[in-house]
Structure 1
Amino acid sequence: MTEEIAIEFANVTKRYGSAVAVDAITLSIAKGELVTFLGPSGCGKTTSLRLIAGLELPTSGVVQIAGRDVSQRAASERNVGMVFQSYALFPHMNVLENVSYGPMIRGVAKAKARAHAYEILEQIGLKGLDMRLPSELSGGQQQRVAVARAIVQQPDVLLFDEPLSNVDAKLRRKVRGEIRELQKRFGLTAVYVTHDQEEALAVSDRIVVMQAGRIAQIGTPRDLYERPASSFVADFIGDANLISGQVTAGRFRAADLDVPLAGPDGAAQISLRPERIILSAGEGAPSGRVRSCTYLGSHWEYEIETGFAELLASRPMSEAPIAPGTAVTLTIPETAPIRVTDI
């Protein structure tokens, strides 16, 4: 069975004068998929979202939605819903009025628009709140109203622009879970923009990591975390220790670090995740010394001085802390080192 493509970028570039915001990107997003654009400020992720929405038009290349070329079509000519970081709810309208407003201005009869809005509000967990004003709702409830207002118009694509930036940290985990559950329940094709790595890992089917207007890597959350294609991706997705050394006959060496590593001989850089480094007190090889030990509730975090790099390592709370100044032996599982760069 052929996978139905909902969004397609073909060699899309967006320039502002001499500045290139999006640089010749090609990408397909399947129907019913949630794809996140992730990257640092200025990487092109928000511009990519705006190109889908029709808020920006490409300088060159083709943008297709549901098989139609929309490259030069205005936002009003695209069947796209958008959830803004500010929610953009009408403060003088109650929940029902906010949700039914879109269909009504498109010519749907008031009674029919409100009946559909009631149905969506019930499905989205807002039954009984239809007469409340946005100011009478929690941040999470306002977010759901914004999603309901977008869903009621039955868009081909639903876009999320930093949707949790105005939600406090304690509520963020709950709301991102609700967004993911709603996306799956309604079978929505969704594109999500965030700079928060944990948020991207939690909600996405696939993540598009952007770097300087280009796609650095596309993959599932697990692919990107466990098999980053470059030092940039390894360092941006979670915590990573980047170590430079030499590969000879399938072994990577840097000072007293000696681990198996596939690939060609020569200078290389590897990534080691902090949780993959096993620490034990006492001298050994490779060796290090604890510079700091920090209590983070769910685990201990260590800064380790070694002859080849300053490492970040972690241990579960079930293990006793190792005091600063203690000599330690580092055990590196064979599958832990990931080759990220040939230097």
Structure 2
Amino acid sequence: MSASAIEFVDVVKRYGSVTAVDTISFSIQRGELVTFLGPSGCGKTTSLRLIAGLELPSAGTVRIAGQDVSTRAAADRNVGMVFQSYALFPHMSVIENVAYGPTIRGGDKKLAIERGHEILTMLGLEGLSTRLPSELSGGQQQRVAVARAIVQQPDVLLFDEPLSNVDAKLRRRVREEIRDLQRRFNLTAVYVTHDQEEALAVSDRIIVMSNGKIAQIGTPSALYDRPSSRFVADFIGDANLIEGHVDNGRFRAEGLTLPLDMPGPDRPATISIRPERVILEKSGAGGKITHASYLGSRREYRIETVFGALLVSAPITDVAFQAGDEVGVSLPVGGYTLLVNESELPSARVSAQ
């Protein structure tokens, strides 16, 4: 029996001739918060619905807590879900909403209400139990939706774009609350978003999807610092992508030679350089600033070089440059990543260790 909280083995989901999820495999451990991240139509929401039982796989196996649930309906899985709209019953009070799940499943209503009050207290909502959802702020409604899911003691808690209805200024606070709750209750949680910053902030690991397949799985820092492909490098944060070739343990492009930790065979290649890793020097040549922006916490520059255009993000404490300035450009060892060609990526059956 699998020790994983969730496991997909060669899972496929088709809608007629369209393959929404294409032979993906991964495992999620108990107590982890794992995010599906990708552009619209990549298969992330379909994957979440396959865990919830709102969709059944066309092929492959879905396991929850070691049990094969591939053919089980949503009602037969011990899974809680927080929807984008929160889906609170407008005519019910907060405590009635929270206690609804256990009660409708035949549980003792009194015990469900007692447990609901305990969870509301933990979430800082103890004084709001008699209010209607319309009398709550967006952040409070979101916490009620989480409480309603937690009270059922699910094996897995699913979040479907939970911050899409939260004001932009509140998103940072609400996502911190979600992460704190997940850790406090030691919940196994799966989170869906298209927002890269949100995914980096809340996740233990991220599953990046593209065209129904898994592009890469890893921790936030691993995906940001060591993307495996052009798609991942370009999708997560800003990246400068430079075309060249590997030659004798070095990456070479016009006017640029960089040592490689993992040389690989001589071949055409691409490197990824994050904007904050580029070092600008007042003395020296190699680049010309074409655009300079002051962004409060940092300065951002566009620079033309012989090996291509660069986006550079510099601390506000560094020397300020202006458009037209000639600057030296250097890259620290380890400040760039050699990307794997898309055709060389491993199959979608990716280990989630």
TM-score interval, smaller chain: over 0.9
Equivalent pair of 1:267/1:342 in contact (CA under 8 Å)? no
In structure 2, C-alpha distance between the alignment counterparts of 1:247 and 1:116, rounded to whole Å? 61
Return 5+ residue gaps in structure 2 as ranges: 343-353
Equivalent pair of 2:2/2:65 in contact (CA under 8 Å)? no
Classify the secondary structure of the residue corresponding to 1:113: helix
Aligned counterpart, 1:268? 269
In structure 2, C-alpha distance between the alignment counterparts of 1:153 and 1:297, rounded to whole Å? 45
Equivalent pair of 1:7/1:65 in contact (CA under 8 Å)? yes
- Kindly state the Cα deviation for residue 312 of structure 1 after the two structures are TM-superposed: 0.5
Task: Please give the per-residue CA displacement for 1:271-296, whole angstroms capped at 9, x wherever unaligned.
Answer: 00000001123433xx1111111122
Are residues 126 and 312 of structure 1, via their aligned partners in 2, closer, same or farther at CA, if it must alter by over 3 Å?
same
Task: Please give the per-residue CA displacement for 1:145-171, whole angstroms capped at 9, x wherever unaligned.
Answer: 000000000111000000001111110
Aligned partner letter, 1:293 = A
In structure 2, C-alpha distance between the alignment counterparts of 1:74 and 1:263, rounded to whole Å? 47
Aligned counterpart, 1:207? 206
Aligned counterpart, 1:175? 174
- Please report the TM-score for the alignment, with normalisation by the length of structure 1: 0.97
Aligned counterpart, 1:198? 197
- Kindly state the Cα deviation for residue 135 of structure 1 after the two structures are TM-superposed: 1.3
In structure 1, C-alpha distance between the alignment counterparts of 2:340 and 2:153, rounded to whole Å? 44
Aligned partner letter, 1:271 = S
In structure 2, C-alpha distance between the alignment counterparts of 1:150 and 1:160, rounded to whole Å? 10
Aligned counterpart, 1:281? 282
Aligned counterpart, 1:324? 323
Classify the secondary structure of the residue corresponding to 1:5: coil
Larger CA deviation: 43-52 vs 254-263: 254-263
Aligned length: 340
Alignment of 1:183-194 (within 5 A): 183-194=182-193
Larger CA deviation: 304-313 vs 254-263: 254-263
Aligned counterpart, 1:29? 28
Task: Please give the per-residue CA displacement for 1:175-219, whole angstroms capped at 9, x wherever unaligned.
Answer: 000000000110111000000011001111110000110111111
Aligned partner letter, 1:272 = I
- Kindly state the Cα deviation for residue 321 of structure 1 after the two structures are TM-superposed: 2.0
- Kindly state the Cα deviation for residue 96 of structure 1 after the two structures are TM-superposed: 0.8
Aligned counterpart, 2:306? 307
Question: Which has the higher relative contact order, 1 or 2, with Cα contacts under 8 A spaced 6 or more apart?
Answer: 2
Equivalent pair of 2:33/2:204 in contact (CA under 8 Å)? yes
Aligned counterpart, 1:108? 107
Alignment of 1:108-147 (within 5 A): 108-147=107-146
Task: Please give the per-residue CA displacement for 1:287-311, whole angstroms capped at 9, x wherever unaligned.
Answer: 1111111122211111111111111
Task: Please give the per-residue CA displacement for 1:297-331, whole angstroms capped at 9, x wherever unaligned.
Answer: 21111111111111110111112321001111111
Moved over 4 A (4+): none
Equivalent pair of 1:216/1:233 in contact (CA under 8 Å)? yes
In structure 1, C-alpha distance between the alignment counterparts of 2:4 and 2:34, rounded to whole Å? 13
Larger CA deviation: 154-163 vs 249-258: 249-258
In structure 2, C-alpha distance between the alignment counterparts of 1:297 and 1:150, rounded to whole Å? 40
In structure 1, C-alpha distance between the alignment counterparts of 2:245 and 2:4, rounded to whole Å? 43
Aligned partner letter, 1:129 = L
In structure 1, C-alpha distance between the alignment counterparts of 2:53 and 2:140, rounded to whole Å? 28
Aligned counterpart, 1:245? 244
Larger CA deviation: 39-48 vs 99-108: 99-108
In structure 2, C-alpha distance between the alignment counterparts of 1:118 and 1:201, rounded to whole Å? 32
Aligned counterpart, 1:6? 5
Equivalent pair of 1:3/1:30 in contact (CA under 8 Å)? no
In structure 2, C-alpha distance between the alignment counterparts of 1:96 and 1:117, rounded to whole Å? 6
Give identity over the alignment, percent: 67
